Structure 1
Amino acid sequence: MKNVPLFKGIIISLGVSLSLVSLTPVIAQTPFKNPLQVEKFDDPLLPDPPVIRPLSPLEKFRLEEALNKLNEQAKQVYQQGKVEEAFTIWYRELRLRQKLDRVKEIKALGSVGEIAWSENRSQDFRNIRERLREIETEAQANNQQNWLEVIAKSYERMRELDGAIALYQVLLETSANPNKILEKIAQLHQSQFHYQKAANTYEKLLQKTENDDLAQIQYLKKLSQLYEEAENYNKGSEVKQRLIALYQQQNNSQPLPNLMVSLGKNYEQMEAFDRASEIYQEAFQLAWSQQKYSIASEALLSLGQLYQNDGNLETTLDIYEQLLIVQERSYDHYGLMMTYDKMGAIYRQRGEQQQALIAYEKALKLARSLGYQENYFQNQVNQIKS
C-alpha cells in the first residue's frame, strides 16, 4: 500500500438443483417402468365394474377422501422408518390422483418428490419428475397457466431448480406481475450459487423500477449481497455507491455509516487505499454524530489497520486514541482491552517501552475484570519490566 492520504484530523471534537445423479439411490422400483405411467386403472378404490366414463361428482368425492386417508397412512408408515412401504402407498395414491383434480395431483407429486429427494431415492425422484413433465407438456398445450405455476412450486420443493426457473421464464411472458416472478428467478439462481445470473435478473428489476425508490433500494441491497458472495468487489462498490446516492437523495443518512464501512472494505480489496481511507473517515464521523458507537468503532479500527499496514504508526496511534474514546463512550471493555493490546504492540515496535507498559497494564486491568486472557497480558507486562 502506497501513498495513503494524510489523516484528515478526525480528532474533531470527539467530545461531541441439487443433482441426484451422483447420489447413491435406494431404488425399490424397476428403472424400466415408471409406476406412474398407468396403462389400465385397476384398483379397489375405483368403481367396480370399471367405467370408461369420467367419474361422477360423488365417485370423485369418495375417491378424494380415500386418497387423503392413503396419504396419512403413508406418512405414519414413513415416520415409523418404513420408507419402502411408505413409497408403495404413495405410488398408489399418486396413480389414482390422475383420475381427479390435476392441481391436487401436482401438489401431491411435489410433496412426495421432496421426500424422495431428501431420502436420496433417485429413481423415485426421476419417476415423479417424469410425470410432472408430462403434465407440464399438457398444461402448455392447453394454456393452463395455473397448472404451470403449481408445477414450478413443486419443482422448487423437489429441488429441481432448473426446471422451476425454466417454467418461471415461461410464466414471465404472460404474467400481470412480472417483477414477482423475476424476484423468484433471482432467488433460485442465488440458491444455486449462480451469482451472476441472479445479479443479471436484479439488474432487469432495477430497470423496471426506475421511478420506485423503495424497490430500487431493495434490489440494490440484493445486488450488494450477491456481489459480496461472489467476491466481485468492483461491482459491489458500484452498487453501494448507487445505494448511498439514493439514500442521500432521500435525505436518509441513517443507513449510511454501516454502508460506508462496507464500501471501504470493498475499496481495500481493490487496493484503492486512498478511497478506503476517505470512506472510513466519513463513516466514522457520520456514525459518531448518530451515536452509532459500534459502527464508529469498526470504521476507526479498519482505518487504523489501513495505516498500520502502510507503516504509518504515528497516525495509527492517533486513530487508536480516538478509538479508545469511542469504546469508553459505549462501555466496550473488550474492545478497549484489544485496542490497548494493539497500541502496546506498536509502542514496543517503536522502542517506546514505558508507553507500551502503560498500555499493557491498562489491558491487564480490563482482562482481569473480564476474566479473559489475563495470563497473556501479565506476560507482556513481565517481559517489559524484565
Structure 2
Amino acid sequence: MLQRLILIIATISIWHLCISGTLAKEKKFEDLDKFPPSPLEITTPDPLLPNKRELTSIELQKLKTDLDELNQEALITIQGEDRKKAFEIWNRELRLRRVLGTLAEVEALSRVGEIAWNENEREQVQYISQRLQVIQSQMEKQKSTDLELWRSLGNAYQKMRLPKLGLSVYEQVLILVQQQQDVVGEIETLKTIGELNLSWFNYPQAANVYQKLLNLAINRGDKINELAYLQQLAYIYTQGKQPQAAIDIFSKLVEIYTSEQNLSQIPALKLAIAANYESLAKENPNLKQQAFNNYQEAYTSAWQLEQYARAGEALQKLIAFYRSQKQIDAALETSQILIETETLARNFYGLMSAYDQIGNLYLENREYAKALTAFQQGLEIAQQLKHQEAYFTQQIEKLKTEEKM
C-alpha cells in the first residue's frame, strides 16, 4: 500500500513538472510575441538603397532629400491621427539615416524620439533609446572625442526625458571641454548636468555641480552669475532638507544684498533663515532663539520697507513662538501689531484670522469678555468675506451661553 502511494505521488510530481515546462515554453513564446524585435533593426532591402555599395556624394544628397520627404510624410500622417502608420514611416527613415553617418542618425533619433515621448508611444521610445545606447556603447569603445556627436547624443536623451542616460553622456562632454580648456563650454555643460540632476530630484549631486559653478563665477569675478548660483543653491538645500547648508547660503545672500543696498530682498531671506533654524531646533532646542531673532529681524525690515504682507508672516511666526513658550501676554501684544499690519496690507483674510487668534489667546488667559469682542470683530469681517461666518457665530454663542451660566 505504501509503495503504491509513493508511486502515485511520484507520478503526480512528474506530471506537474511536465506541465510547468510546457507552460514556461508557452510563456517564452508569448513574451516573444509581446516584445517583437525593434523595427530599427530590420535588415530587409529598401527601394531607396537598391545597391549595397558605398554611395557617391550625389547619391548621398539624393538619399538625404528622400529621407527629409519621408519625415514630412510621417508628420502629415500623424496629423491625420494615424500614429501607427506615421511611426512606421519614421522607423524606415531612421533605419536609412544610418547610411548618412552617426551624427545624422542621432539627430534624427532625437527628433523622432521627442515626438514619440510627446505622443506617449512607449514602445517607440524604448526602440529609440535602445538604439541610442548602442551608439553610445560604440562611442565609448572607440574612445570618441567627437564633441558635437556627444552633445547631440546628450540632447537626444534630454528630449526623451531620460536624465540618467543623459548624465552619463554629459559627464563625457565635461571631460572633453575641460581637456580643451573651454571655460564657457565647461560652464554650459555643468549647468546642463545640474538641471538633469534636479529633474530627477538628485539634490546632493545638483548641489555639488552648482557649487562648482559658484566657484567658477567667483574666480572670474562674475557677480551676476554668482548671485544666480547662490539662489539656486539656496533652493536646492531647502528642497533637499539641508537646513544648515541653506542657512549658510541665505546668510551669504543677505551679505551681498546688504552691501549692494538692495534691502528689498532682506525680509524674505530672514524668513527663510528663521524657518531653517526652526527646523534645526527640533533636534537642538537651543537654536529656537536664533529662529526667533531672525523672525524679529524679518518683521522689522519688512515693516521699514512697507512690505506689510511679509511683516504679517513674520508676526504670525513670532506669535506661534510666544504661544509655544506660554507667553500669552507677549503673544497678545504681538497680535495687536498683527492687526495693524494686516490692515495696512489690506489682507482681510489675514485680519479675520488675526481676530480669531486673539480670541483664542484671550480664552487661554480666561478673559472671556475680551475674547467675545475679538470673535465679534472677526465675525464682521467674515460676513463681508462670506467665509467662516458659522465658525465665528458658534464661538460667540458658546461664550454668551457660558456667561449666562
- The verdict on a shared fold, with TM-score over 0.5 as the criterion, is yes
- Output the CA distance in 1 between the equivalents of 2:398 and 2:34: 75
Check conservation: 1:139, 1:147, Cα contact below 8 A. no
Q: CA deviation at 1:245?
A: 1.9
C-alpha separation in 2, matches of 1:123 and 1:370: 53
User: By how many angstroms is 1:354 displaced?
Assistant: 1.1
| Secondary structure in structure 2 of the residue aligned to 1:53 | coil
Question: Aligned equivalents of 2:400 and 2:138: distance in 1?
Answer: 85
For 2:222 and 2:259, how far apart are their aligned partners in 1? 13
Deviation at 1:63, TM superposition (A): 2.7
Q: How does 1:266-285 map onto structure 2 within 5 Å? A: 266-271=276-281, 272-285=287-300
Question: Contact 1:77 / 1:85 at 8 angstroms: preserved in 2?
Answer: yes
Q: Distance in 2 between matches of 1:97 and 1:124?
A: 17
Compared with structure 1, are the counterparts of its residues 333 and 146 closer, same or farther at alpha carbon in structure 2 (3 Å cutoff)? same
Residue 77 of structure 1, CA deviation: 3.6
Amino acid at match of 1:73: E
State whether structure 2 residue 260 is matched by structure 1 residue 213. Answer: no
Question: Is it true that 1:231 corresponds to 2:235 in the alignment?
Answer: no
For residues 61-94 of structure 1, give each alpha carbon's deviation from its aligned partner in whole angstroms, at most 9, with x where no partner exists.
4333332332233334444554433322221010
332-341 or 212-221, which deviates more = 212-221
Contact 2:267–2:302 under 8 Å retained in 1? yes
What is the TM-score with the length of structure 1 in the denominator?
0.85
**CA-to-partner distance for each residue in 1:22-53, whole Å, 9 max, x for gaps?**
xxxxx99885744334657x22223x4x2613
Structure 2, unmatched stretches of 5+, are 1-30, 282-286
The answer on 1:43 being equivalent to 2:46 is: yes
Equivalent AA in structure 2 for residue 64 of structure 1: K
Q: Aligned AA for 1:53?
A: E
**In the alignment, is the contact (CA less than 8 A) between 1:260 and 1:279 conserved in 2?**
yes
Deviates more, 1:142-151 or 1:69-78: 69-78
Give 2:9's aligned residue: none
Structure 1's 55 and 37: CA in aligned 2 closer, same or farther, altered over 3 A?
A: farther
Does the aligned pair in 2 maintain the 1:139–1:145 contact within 8 Å? no
Contact 1:205–1:219 (8 Å) recurs in 2:
yes
Partners of 1:348 and 1:186 lie apart in 2 by: 52
With normalisation by structure 2, the TM-score equals 0.81
Q: Does 1:247 align with 2:249?
A: no
Q: CA RMSD in A?
A: 2.4
Q: Are positions 1:198 and 2:201 aligned together? A: no
Q: Residues of 2 paired with 1:307 and 1:120: CA distance?
A: 53
Kept after mapping to 1: 8 A contact 2:145/2:176: no
Distance 1:71 1:128, change over 3 A: same
Q: Sort the Cα spacing of 1:189 and 1:357 in 2 relative to 1 into closer, same or farther, 3 A.
A: same
Compare CA radii of gyration and give the structure with the larger one.
2
Q: Deviation per CA, 1:3-24, whole angstroms, max 9, x where unpaired?
A: xxxxxxxxxxxxxxxxxxxxxx
| 2-structure distance, mates of 1:306, 1:190 | 34
Task: Tell me which of 373, 376, 380 is aligned to 1:365.
Answer: 380
| 1: CA distance, partners of 2:308 / 2:194 | 35
**8 A Cα contact 1:29 1:123, kept in partner:** no
Aligned match of 2:332: 317
Q: Which residue of 2 aligns with 1:53?
A: 54
Q: 1:124 to 1:117 in 2, by over 3 A?
A: same
Aligned equivalents of 2:161 and 2:94: distance in 1? 19
Candidates 156, 159, 162, aligned match of 2:158? 156
- What secondary structure is seen at the aligned counterpart in 2 of 1:375? helix
- Distance in 2 between residues matched to 1:107 and 1:282, nearest whole Å: 54
Structure 2 SS opposite 1:209 = helix
1:133 paired residue number? 133
Structure 1 residue aligned with 2:5:
none
Structure ranking higher on relative contact order (CA contacts 8 Å, 6+ apart): 1
Whole-Å Cα distance in 2 between the matches of residues 32 and 330 of structure 1? 65
Cα distance, 1:101 vs structure 2:
5.4
Structure (1 or 2) with the greater helix fraction: 2
| Structure 2 Cα separation of the partners of residues 330 and 165 of structure 1 | 47
Question: Cα gap change, 1:109/1:29 in structure 2, threshold over 3 Å: closer, same or farther?
Answer: farther
Q: Is the 8 A contact 1:136 1:147 kept in 2?
A: no
Q: Distance in 2 between matches of 1:85 and 1:69?
A: 15
Query: Following the alignment from structure 1 to structure 2, what is the Cα–Cα distance between the partners of residues 123 and 369?
Result: 57
Report the residue type matching 2:205 in the other structure.
Answer: K
Aligned residues, how many?
Answer: 356
Residues 255/29 of structure 1: CA separation in 2 closer, same or farther (3 Å cut): farther
Contact 2:74–2:86 at 8 Å: present in 1 too? Answer: yes
Instruction: In structure 2, give the amino acid aligned to 1:246.
Output: I
Query: Which amino acid is 1:159 matched to?
Result: R
Deviates more, 1:180-189 or 1:200-209: 200-209
Name the SS of the counterpart of 2:381 in structure 1. helix
Tell me: CA distance 1:370–1:121, structure 2 relative to 1, closer, same or farther (3 Å): closer
Greater shift in the superposed pair: 291-300 or 250-259 = 250-259
Give the residue type in structure 2 aligned to 1:376: Y
- Unmatched 5+ stretches in structure 1: 1-26
2:57 partner letter: S
Which segment drifts farther, 119-128 or 161-170?
A: 119-128
Q: Which residue of 1 aligns with 2:272?
A: 262
